[in-house]
């Protein structure tokens, strides 16, 4: 799969050179979209969140080779948008929703080592909707920290529902907190209806809003630790006396996550029939951190992971740009 990405990236680079885009790419780095990613440690707790300002330059990087319908790539040090495609178009986020679920749980629950009993009534509707599950059982006693890993790594619906009910008393009350946070972050094109991302016509966002959300969540050290983990071992419980290994639904798709001068460090996958394949990732390339969000790629869990291919494609664009500017 990685070789396929590299071959496509090489073809795209050649076409860009032929079209004289290399000079444009240099300009995008200087005057591309600019985010006002302000904030401090206090931004990790619920409260007033600095507003977000975007500006874009034209023309921009050609993303015609992207499999996903929508895409967004931003450098975190200065908020410059390196690439965008249908960034404000409404999408269904599927399990990318759980980025918000996890960060709200982190900001709401004081004792992450607290142990709860998995509510039995959350399981039947999740089973009925064929929701992704981490593997915990009804009535099993689980630590909150293990639930948080279960939300992000295997995309566990039962983890999302249990954490939400523990944090806010009900999933409905928790969803209200999610929407309040979205408004605080300036995610004006986002609305949540549930904590899992199961399809609902009124549960929507955009790739640019998701980039805002992920940047905010990554300010939280615990979230970043979870987000960048490949796996997490749950110590023995009454439901799993030998323990339970939680594995990232993204990292199981590829062995080598290196890209040029760096690597893709973490990510969250998403998929429903309506959303297509979705992915939000963080990468470190050289000394810079980047976020890429894509949505609406054709395919499913049985096809090529086109959302992962797109992540490599986007980060390869950054490396191609770096090489062009270095050689000038």
User: What would the pLDDT profile of 271-318 be if each residue is shown by its tens digit?
Assistant: 999 999 999 999 999 999 999 999 999 999 899 999 999 999 999 888
Q: In whole angstroms, how far apart are CA 20 and each of 17, 57, 144, 214, 321?
A: 5, 17, 53, 33, 13
Quote the CA–CA distance of 177 and 77 in Å, as a whole number.
Answer: 28
Indicate whether 121 pLDDT > 90. Answer: yes
Asked if pLDDT for residue 326 goes beyond 50, the answer is: yes
- Which domains, and CATH codes, for the chain? 2-327 (3.40.710.10)
Residue count (the chain): 328
pLDDT for position 45: 40
Q: What is the pTM of this model?
A: 0.85
Residue 15 scores a pLDDT above 50: no
Q: Is the pLDDT of residue 201 over 80?
A: yes
Are the C-beta atoms of residues 278 and 91 closer than 8 Å to each other?
A: yes
Whole-Å CA distances, 22 to 16, 64, 321, 327? 7, 16, 7, 11
Q: What is the pLDDT of residue 7?
A: 43
- Percent residues over pLDDT 90 in the chain: 73
């Amino acid at each position: 799969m990685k070789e396929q990405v590299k071959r496509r990236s090489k073809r795209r680079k050649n076409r860009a050179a032929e079209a004289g885009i290399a000079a444009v790419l240099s300009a995008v780095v200087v005057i591309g979209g600019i985010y006002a990613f302000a904030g401090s440690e206090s931004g990790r707790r619920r409260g007033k969140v600095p507003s977000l300002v975007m500006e874009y330059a034209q023309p921009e990087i050609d993303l015609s080779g992207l499999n996903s319908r929508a895409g967004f790539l931003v450098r975190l040090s200065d908020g410059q948008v390196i690439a965008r495609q249908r960034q404000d178009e409404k999408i269904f986020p599927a399990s990318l929703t759980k980025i918000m679920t996890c960060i709200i749980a982190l900001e709401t629950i004081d004792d992450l080592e607290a142990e709860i009993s998995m509510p039995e009534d959350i399981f039947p509707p999740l089973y009925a909707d064929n929701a992704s599950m981490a593997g915990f059982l009804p009535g099993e006693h689980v630590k909150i920290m293990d639930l948080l890993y279960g939300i992000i790594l295997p995309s566990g619906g039962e983890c999302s529902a249990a954490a939400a009910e523990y944090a806010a008393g009900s999933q409905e009350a928790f969803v209200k907190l999610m929407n309040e946070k979205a408004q605080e972050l300036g995610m004006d094109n986002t609305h949540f209806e549930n904590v899992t991302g199961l399809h609902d016509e009124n549960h929507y966002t955009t790739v640019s809003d998701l980039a805002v959300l992920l940047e905010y969540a990554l300010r939280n050290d615990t979230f970043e630790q979870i987000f960048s983990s490949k796996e997490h071992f749950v110590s023995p419980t009454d439901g799993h006396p030998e323990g339970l290994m939680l594995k990232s639904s993204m990292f199981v798709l590829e062995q080598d996550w290196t890209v040029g001068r760096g690597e893709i460090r973490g990510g969250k996958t998403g998929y429903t029939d309506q959303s297509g394949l979705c992915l939000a990732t963080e990468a470190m390339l050289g000394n810079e951190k980047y976020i890429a969000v894509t949505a609406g790629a054709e395919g499913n869990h049985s096809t090529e992971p086109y959302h992962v291919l797109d992540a490599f494609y986007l980060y390869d664009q950054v490396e191609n740009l770096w090489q062009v500017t270095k050689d000038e």
